[in-house]
Amino acid sequence: VTIAQEIDHALWQERLLILIAPSAEDPEVVQQKQALRDAADAVAERRLRVIELYSDPGSDDATQLPPERQHAIRQGLGVDFGARELVLVGLDGGIKRRAPLVTPLREILQQIDGMPMRRQEIEDRRRAGIPVTTP
């Protein structure tokens, strides 16, 4: 599976947030994953799926992809082996942001909320009387 295939699978269904680090135990990963847990409702509402890519094959985090899929995605993104970054992929499959792994989740969620398709989702939810979570 390549990054293109991973993105094609998510196309128009969900946004992707790809966390890239040497290991699942990396302090920046731990911090970002805690922020994602703390904002679980906002993450779910934005249809944001998290993909974790670790350089250390010894990481035993059950949520990470198999090594061969990680390698293909890493190659497709042009990510260095020891990189610490995040990549946001929109519903349309386009890369919307490449940023340091420590980028506050609030900034990512605000960026998503500014996207045209998300603005339409917000409007549709409001018209239907469904509350909208804010970052």
Dihedrals phi, psi of 16, to nearest 5 degrees: -115, 135
The predicted-structure confidence for 9-59, as pLDDT tens digits, reads as follows 767 789 999 999 988 899 999 999 999 999 999 999 999 999 888 877 555
Instruction: Look at residue 6 in the predicted model and tell me its pLDDT.
Output: 64
| Predicted TM-score (pTM) of this structure | 0.85
- Dist CA 101 CA 20 (whole Å): 7
Q: How far is CA 89 from the centre of its chain?
A: 7
Considering only 19-28, 107-116, 119-128, which range has the smallest mean pLDDT?
19-28
- Higher pLDDT among residues 93 and 9, named by residue: 93
Long-range contacts of 67-71 (CB under 8 A, 24+ apart): 69/1, 69/6
- Count of CB atoms within 10 A of residue 61's CB? 12
With bands split at pLDDT 50, 70 and 90, how would you rate the model's confidence at 134?
confident
Find the length of the chain.
135
